[in-house]
Structure 1
Amino acid sequence: MGKARILLVDQDEKFLMPLERKFIDEFGEQFEIMVITDSDYLKEFFSNPQSLDILIINEALYDRSLERHNIANIFILSEKIIDETYTGALDNNKIYKYTSVKEIYNEVINTSAVTMNPNMKSDGETRVIMVYSPIGGIGKTTLSMGLCAALSKYHKRVIYIGTDNLQTFGYFMNNKITLESGVEKQFVTQKEHIYSVIKPQIVTEGFDIVPPFMKALSSLSIKVSDFINLIDSIKKSNEYDYIVVDSGTDFSEDTSKLMGMANNTIVLVGQDKYSVHKLECLMTNIDYSDKNKFSFICNKYKIEEENSLISEDFIRKCLISEYVNYEKRIETMNCERLSNLNGLQKISYMFI
């Protein structure tokens, strides 16, 4: 498979440098990345037929004649804030130039038709993202599944692991299979080789999923510590960019250990007074001072209802990173539809 060709065009070299670095860091071995800052050289470059997978070009340098070339995806950098109602004649994508490098990169990769080589391995360490809440029914599994799907859309290798005692996350799977009978014994005894035992049963639905156990974990003598062992084994394989762990709502010693091994912990909260009280109880039992590790997100937010998270006392203790609006039909959504929710896409940006 040949390298994808990407061309960045802008007269501001300082602007292009971090954008070029972002593409190199993510897909350097898969992309042939070119940069043009001189308008005369731009004309010379396109004086011959060119074939590109992605062209990112400043609006002032764009010319309709470029469409005669074989360019799969054209992104135009505008120096004016984009009007979302814009329906101009061009089919090309417009991006506000002065947004963040991360957002430009995400827009390009998410929108373009470039197919990344799935066999390419990231040099970065596998990151463990734990999704936890002390509150039942807050949508922890829904958000975890949606986050996996959103990250996979950015060509990240993602695996979902559910650790709830009663494993009901199969509801969101198209292929509602469970782990084969007998695996539970190996899950507990084959600690060093547990990933090799589980790996053949992993299913893929846009991202990888360790299927649920049919019976409650407590009846199978499976503990969170066994999942910690599996997560550590998968992490050492370096076969994934992200392991998303959907944890239970209890706060045990093993839950604390799981938080300790996670690179990032998302704590889901509600806006009502009782949910805030439960969150405050949790906060007295964990060290959440590392703002890069802990993110507090309000799920199922309803703007018309009282928001106890903005009380003066609570704001001094905790900053809410994102509010995810309540969706009436979210329970009927599959993973693909979940990944398209604006709130979940914003959360995925936090980790890319």
Structure 2
Amino acid sequence: MAITLVILDKDPSYSEYLTHYFRRYYNSIFHIVSSTTLVAMNIYLQNNDCIFLIHESYREDWSNEDAEVFWLCEEKNNGERFLYKYQKVDRFIHKILETSQREVDNLSLLKGLKQNIIGIYSPIGGIGKTTIATALTGLIAQHENVLYLNLEPFPSNAFLMNEGNKYNFSDLLLFASRASEDINMLIEKVVNRYETLELYYFNPYNRYEDLLDTDAGTWYRLMLALCHKYDKIILDFGSHEDKQVLTVFNLCHVLVVLVCHEPFAKMKVEKWYNYQQKMSRDLNICWVANKIDQREESQEPSSEYVLELAYNESYLRFNNFEELLRSSLLDKLIPLYLYLEGGESVD
């Protein structure tokens, strides 16, 4: 049953924004009501399932001590019942549910947080998935904090590896499977940060079987915690699918699928896509073409692709992550980044 959330802020446009956000991403969890005055809120006071989000300026006039209230603050406040208005909405939703001890399943919450998760995939091997995933992560890190997670059977990204951290992603999967563990504390132990950027990553797992042995409930719990912690999560998938990989596929807001115009590669992509449709998988696919044939440079771009890259062997020969960050590839990925931010292709 949905929880009734009653919102009252002194800025009507902020109330409207919150209402729209909750209805778009959390409609299955919350029933949203936007109120204009304290008097108008009285009708909801008899409902024990109501949670009130009220601007802090109304505190002196609020007299009902039994109601479950969270105060919307203009300045940061660490109090249990105070919510900083200008933090990510997803984070204060987490605080509301945690503080009020409301039972909501992790999958329902993840459906609202999916806009944070971007998958990079192709059924074609060697097309540059990891290079583009890493470069996109570096680009995003210049604007917001981002987590890169390599889910290939044999992780190939040696740039993002911290030899000084004894923990890796296998450890985190094991920790996450124990429901009694403080998962946020465990993430802090395992995660690494890349120097000056807001770019975070885990050392690769010991064995691919560690990923395959992880059940769906553990994935939901882990991904929910990561979504609350990072603005964006980039998932770098291998070119094949296993049952647990499909579980994670379905958590992606967007699945960026790389294709090329070589006939056999195109056939492989078509078969993969037809299979997804046959299995009725609801994947939000963003097509990116990596052109192997340089002669195709002069052709008009196809409307089905958000981005068409001119394949260049030098993209695959970086000696370190600094070289990748300084390369022209990041500039070429800006249209993709803008698309992922706004959902519209950019010419």
1:99-178 matches, within 5 Å, as 121-123=87-89, 125=113, 127-154=116-143, 156-169=144-157, 171-173=158-160, 175=162
Task: Evaluate the alpha carbon distance shift between residue 123 and residue 189 of structure 1 in structure 2; reply closer, same or farther with a 3 A threshold.
Answer: closer
CA distance in 1, matches of 2:164, 2:116: 26
1:240 aligns with 2:230: yes
Q: Any residues of structure 2 matched to 1:44-83 within 5 Å, and which?
A: none
1:85 alignment partner in structure 2: none
Evaluate the alpha carbon distance shift between residue 350 and residue 161 of structure 1 in structure 2; reply closer, same or farther with a 3 A threshold: same
Query: Which of the residues 154, 170, 183 maps onto 2:171?
Result: 183
Residue 273 of structure 2 aligns to which amino acid in structure 1? M
The 1:131/1:269 distance shift into structure 2, 3 A limit, reads same
Distance 2:164 2:265 in 1: 33
Distance of 2:281 and 2:174 partners within structure 1: 36
Unaligned runs of 5+ residues in structure 1 are 1-20, 26-119
Post-superposition offset of 1:175: 4.2
- 5+ unaligned residues in a row in structure 2: which ranges? 1-12, 18-85, 91-112, 342-347
**Is residue 327 of structure 1 aligned with residue 312 of structure 2?**
yes
State the distance in 2 between where 1:346 and 1:291 align.
Answer: 24
Q: What's the CA shift string for 1:6-57, capped at 9, x where partnerless?
A: xxxxxxxxxxxxxxx9xxx9xxxxxxxxxxxxxxxxxxxxxxxxxxxxxxxx
How many percent identity over aligned positions? 19
Q: Is the 8 A contact 2:145 2:198 kept in 1?
A: yes
Q: How far, CA to CA, are the matches of 2:119 and 2:312 in structure 1?
A: 23
**Deviation of the 1:239 alpha carbon:** 2.1
Alignment of 1:211-250 (within 5 A): 211-213=202-204, 215-218=206-209, 222-223=213-214, 225=216, 227=219, 229-235=221-227, 238-250=228-240
In 1: Cα distance, 2:121 partner to 2:273 partner: 13
Q: Deviations over 1:57-112 (max 9, x none)?
A: xxxxxxxxxxxxxxxxxxxxxxxxxxxxxxxxxxxxxxxxxxxxxxxxxxxxxxxx
1:233 and 1:343, CA in 2 relative to 1: closer, same or farther beyond 3 A? Answer: same
d(CA) in 1 for partners of 2:287, 2:177: 36
Preserved contact between residue 147 and residue 199 of structure 2 (Cα < 8 Å): yes
SS at match of 1:141: helix
Residue aligned with 1:351, SS: helix
Distance of 2:230 and 2:328 partners within structure 1 = 19
Task: Give the stretch that moved more between structures: 144-153 or 124-133.
Answer: 124-133
Normalised by the length of structure 2, the TM-score is 0.54
1:152, distance to aligned residue in structure 2 (A): 1.6
TM-score by length of 1: 0.54
Does structure 2 conserve the Cα–Cα contact (< 8 Å) formed by 1:160 and 1:244? yes
* SS across alignment from 2:333: helix
Q: How far does residue 220 in structure 1 lie from its aligned partner after superposition? A: 7.8
Give the aligned residue type for 1:127.
Answer: N
Deviation by residue 1:279-310 (Cα, 9 ceiling, x = unmatched):
00111122499999310101254432699999
Q: Determine helix, strand or coil for the equivalent of 2:250.
A: helix
CA distance in structure 2 between the partners assigned to 1:192 and 1:338 by the alignment: 44
Equivalent position to 1:286, from 276, 284, 297? 276
Shift of 1:130: 0.8
Paired residue type of 2:223: I
Q: Work out the CA distance in 2 between the residues paired with 1:345 and 1:309.
A: 19
Distance 1:300 1:246 in 2: 20
CA distance in 2, matches of 1:129, 1:320: 17
Q: Is the 8 A contact 2:160 2:203 kept in 1?
A: no
The answer to which of 134-143 and 220-229 deviates more is: 220-229
Contact 1:159/1:208 (<8 A) preserved? yes
Matched, 1:253 2:273: no
Tell whether the 8 Å contact from 1:299 to 1:325 is kept in structure 2 after alignment.
yes
Contact 1:271 1:301 in 2 (8 A): yes
CA distance in 1, matches of 2:209, 2:299: 35
Measured on the aligned residues, the alpha-carbon RMSD in Å equals 3.8
Task: Give the ranges of 4+ consecutive aligned residues of structure 1 lying more than 6 Å apart after TM superposition.
Answer: 288-292, 306-310
Tell me the amino acid that sits aligned with residue 153 of structure 1. Q
Within a 5 Å distance, the mapping from 1:202-217 to structure 2 comes to 202-205=191-194, 206-213=197-204, 215-217=206-208
User: Is this contact kept in 1: 2:161–2:203, CA < 8 A?
Assistant: no
Q: Which amino acid aligns with 2:288?
A: I
* CA distance in structure 1 between the partners assigned to 2:328 and 2:219 by the alignment: 25
Match of 1:94 in 2: none
Aligned residues: 225
222-231 vs 276-285, greater mean Cα deviation: 222-231
The alpha carbon displacement at 1:341 in A equals 2.7
CA distance in 1, matches of 2:240, 2:298: 24
